Structure 1
Amino acid sequence: MKVTVDFEECLKDSPRFRAALEDVEGDVTELEQKLDKLVKLCIGMIDAGKAFCAANKQFMNGIRDLAQYSSKDEVIENSLTKFSDSLQEMINYHNILFDQAQRSIKTQLQIFVKEDLRKFKDAKKQFDKVSEEKENALAKNAQVPRTKQHEVEEATNILTATRKCFRHIALDYVLQINVLQSKRRSEILKSMLSFMYAHLAFFHQGYDLFSELEPYMKDLGAQLDNLVVDAAREKRDMELKHSTIQQKGLSADDSNLECNVDAENGIVMEGYLFKRASNAFKTWNRRWFSIQNNQLVYQKKFKDNPTVVVEDLRLCTVKHCEDIERRFCFEVVSPTKSCMLQADSEKLRQAWIKAVQTSIATAYREKGEEAEKMDKKPSMSNTSPVSEAKEKLVKGESALQRVQLIPGNTKCCDCGLPDPRWASINLGITLCIECSGIHRSLGVHFSKVRSLTLDTWEPELLKLMCELGNDVINSVYEARVDAMGVKKPQNGCQRQEKEAYIKAKYVEKKFVDNSGESMLIARKKTLTRKSSENRLGSTDKSLSIEEQRTVSRASEMEKKLEKRDSAVFHDSTSTRKLIPGLQLYQAAFQQNLPAMAEALAQGAEVNWVNPKENNATPLIQAVFGGSLVACEFLLQNGANVNHRDMKGRGPLHHATVLGHTGQVCLFLKRGANQHATDEDGKDPLSIAVEAANADIVTLLRLARMNEEMRESEGLYGQPGDETYQDIFRDFSHMASNNPEKLNRFPQSDSRKS
Structure 2
Amino acid sequence: MTVKLDFEECLRDSPWFRAAVEEAEADVAELETHLEKVLKLCSAMLEAGRHLEGTSRAFAAGLRDLAGIPRGDPLVREALEKLCSSLEQMIDSHEELQDSTQVALRRHLHTLLKEEARRLREARRERARAAEALAGALQHHAEVPRRRPLEAREAAAALGGARGVARARGLDYVLQINVVQDKNKTEILQFVLALLEAQAAFFSQGHRGATSTQQYRGQLGAQLDRLVLEGARQQRDMEQRHALLLQQDLSQETVGGATGEAGPGAPPMEGYLYKRASNAFRTWSRRWFSIQSNQLVYLKRARDPPTVVVEDLRLCTVKPCPDLERRFCFEVLSPSKSCVLQADSAGQQRAWLSAVQSSIASAFSQGPPRDPPGQPPESSRSVSGCRGGPPESPVLETVLGLEGNGSCCDCREPAPAWASVNLGITLCIECSGIHRSLGVHFSKVRSLTLDSWEPELVKLMCELGNSTLNRIYEARVEEMGVKRPPPGCSRAQREDWIRAKYVEKKFVTGLPGGPPRPRPSRPGPAPRGSPTPRSHQPPEPSEAEGPPSLHPGALLYWAAQRRRLPTMADALAHGADPGWVNSAEDNRTPLLQAVAANSLLACEFLLQNGASVNQSDSRGRGPLHHATMLGHTGLACLFLKRGADVNAVDADGKDPLTIAIDLANADIVTLLRLAKMRELEVAQGQTGDDTYLDIFRDISLMASDHPEKLTRPHHKFTTL
Determine which structure has more spread, i.e. the larger CA radius of gyration: 1
Q: Select the structure with the greater relative contact order (CA < 8 A; seq sep ≥ 6).
A: 2
Q: TM-score w.r.t. structure 1 length?
A: 0.47
Q: TM-score w.r.t. structure 2 length?
A: 0.49
Q: Hey, which of these two has a bigger chunk of helix by percent?
A: 1
